[in-house]
Amino acid sequence: MPVIAALALALALFADPAPADGVRLSPDPAPVPAPAPAPAPAPVDEGAPAAPRVPFFPAAAGGATACVVALAAGSRARRRHAGLETGAPAAEEPLVVFVSGHGTDSAPGQFAHLVALMGLDPSQVRYFDYRWATGGTDHAGASEDASIDEAADALDGYLAGLSDGSGRPLYLVGFSKGGAGVAELVARWDRGTPDASHGVVGAALLEPPMASGVHGWLQSVGTFWGPLPDDGGYDPIECGFWSCVDTRDHLGEASGVEVVVVRNPQAGITSFADIPEDMRVYDASDGGPGFFPTLLTHPWDLVSRMEDAHLAVLDDPRVAECITAEAFGSGSCPLPQAGHAPAPGVIVHGPGNALKLVVNRMV
């Protein structure tokens, strides 16, 4: 049955391709505001000599609706109440670095709502640009063309420049392909020297395509054609002469980076389905049907349903609160942890949750 379902998904994707990150896994949901008057980094010059530590200083996005601003203010108030801001020097607050997914026109545009929900101002955020990995003038094209290795290389150089220029701790938030790129970089740091992580203290991976086996192959088909889903060729299994290891196990432990994954269990193929050893994985259900229920009852809606489920984490206030708690030190993510029974009194989001939880544990 899993093989039949996987083949059915592949046929559905090829029969009805959607733009960008596969089923539009990483669209730009809002117009990008005009950047602040700060020097923007130039695209990578492939002919220039490589430098291991290159500073970049991208402009930050701003602006949100009055409703979102109110939510943001509440988030800031909660952080102050928790003692995370009171009396703390500004230099000790982390810079939150956002890494977008496959096919997005801009990282600021994709994360604008989430940044507002987290209550962050422009001085607290930075955005990775895939053009630093592949060059060119089109961010969407660069995000599709960049392999996971190229993205990790460019992100490593960018973070080195940020850590040199600010002296502040860094916290990474990667969505979709961006989450897989962050995971690849953290795994490199785990194998490297203790100070290789450039002051990165943690990372939240939102709906990262980090599966292995057939599931992982389906997440890589965009490597052959940009509009389809793509993880950039991410492969968590590394083999040496005698044995193989899963780099997701204990990810970040050796380099001192606290990694958490936030996924929507209803997203199915596009989502992260595993629970690696010693990794905290949180479920942010959007209350909709899972992959198999949609395939069996409304197969014509499969592509759009996966798209909606995949993107739901970017608009979920609980996800914003979870990242804020992790980034600013409390570590008290309010989402239910995958593989653990919900705590007494916890209500899972959405109607008909008992049946949906059973169904989605099966998929």
What single DSSP character describes residue 351? S
Short-list 70, 333, 292, CA closest to 202: 333
Q: What pLDDT, on the 0 to 100 scale, is given for residue 228?
A: 56
Which amino acid would we find at residue 47?
A: G
Q: Write down all domains in the chain, each with its CATH number in brackets.
A: 2-362 (3.40.50.1820)
Which secondary-structure segment (H or E) carries 173? strand 170-175
The one-letter code for the residue type at 301 is D
pLDDT at 224 (0 to 100): 64
Q: Average pLDDT of each block of 10 consecutive residues along the chain (363 residues)?
A: 45 42 42 43 40 35 38 44 40 88 85 96 95 90 92 96 86 95 95 84 94 72 61 83 88 94 86 85 89 78 81 95 90 85 44 33 35
Query: How far is Cα of residue 281 from the mean position of the Cα atoms in its chain?
Result: 13
In this prediction the pTM is 0.71
Whole-number pLDDT of residue 146: 92
Question: Which of 201, 129, 115, 191 has its CA nearest to residue 163?
Answer: 201
> CB of 220 within 8 A of CB of 231?
yes
User: Half-sphere exposure of 289 toward its Cβ, with a 13 Å CA cutoff?
Assistant: 14
